[in-house]
Structure 1
Amino acid sequence: MEELKKENTVLETRMTASENEVEELKRQNADQPKVAFSLGLTDNGRIGPFNTEITLKFSKVFTNFGQAYSPTTGLFTAPVRGAYYFSLTIVDNRGNEECVVTLYHNDKRVLWNYDHNDDYGHTNLSNSMVLQLEKGDVVYMVLPASYSVFDDGNDRFTFNGFLLFPL
């Protein structure tokens, strides 16, 4: 009987320690910032060409956890220092068109995407990258001068991002 009491005491101690660890992990997870967005460009069809480059303003906000993306400015602003993942996908079915977009981190171009549609009008662009951002850094998509892109209710042009982990 004494042996069972000792085993029970050991098990209760281990269970209490495990419960405390679970509670600590819950607290840590609750304290982590929640940052993620998923966007579509527009329902309006063709955007551009323009005489100067423009920041693309994605008006279709599917998700915007943490409210770090502004559809008014087109800027994602990092709420915390961390590693962030960004991706873009473009499907363009306009024939004989060039599709060009760039991704900027602050004022530096970090990603350039290009494809020329064939005569049948089939272009698929997709790219992604991880960036280390400081709190307040901005990331945004730019349409270079003299180019155009296309999006409609089929969400052909999407831009996504999320915080992988704080640093």
Structure 2
Amino acid sequence: YIILMIQNVLTVLEARLSSKRPKVAFSFGLSDAGRIGPFNTDITLKFTKVFTNFGQAYNPNTGIFTAPVRGVYYFRFSAMNSNVNGPLGVQVYLNGKRVSWNYGRDSNWYGRATNAFIFQLEKGDVVYLVLPVGYDIFDHNYNVTTFSGFLLFPV
């Protein structure tokens, strides 16, 4: 009887611990549309091809990741364009403030940019990528433009 009680207590504790550990991870491709841009205004990139979205913290309708809990998060993106109509440009924003400006242009007609960040976020903080005025970006079924992130640990 005592062993059965201990097993029950351990099962309850394990369930409580696992439910308190938030599961946050996402990975998206941009689209199958080919070239996007250039535009005459900055646009938030909306990554719509879902590879995974544990916790639903990334919203493909808005292009915005919203931190569900206070913690340390890892983000990365990879982008490409064909440079036919303009250079590649991607900006990383945290709570409405640009924290990174990434661009690429190659003499072989392809621009590439990639970057990664670790941010300590408060619950409700937002992270998103912006295509700036005059720049373009490219994606198709090979998923050459992607955005991913996950919670490293809560704090």
Alignment of 1:1-20 (within 5 A): none
Higher Rg of the two aligned structures: 1
Counterparts of 1:150 and 1:144, CA distance in 2: 14
Alignment of 1:76-155 (within 5 A): 76-94=65-83, 97-118=86-107, 120-155=108-143
TM-score (structure 2 length as normaliser): 0.87
Would the aligned equivalents of 1:45 and 1:152 in 2 still touch at CA under 8 Å? Answer: yes
TM-score (structure 1 length as normaliser): 0.81
Q: RMSD of the alignment, in Å? A: 2.5
Counterparts of 2:144 and 2:34, CA distance in 1: 10
Amino acid at match of 2:137: V
* Matched pairs, number: 153
- Name the residue aligned to 2:147: 159
Would the aligned equivalents of 1:35 and 1:68 in 2 still touch at CA under 8 Å? Answer: yes
Structure 1: give runs of 5+ residues left out of the alignment.
1-19
What percentage of aligned pairs have identical amino acids?
Answer: 54
Counterparts of 1:146 and 1:122, CA distance in 2: 16
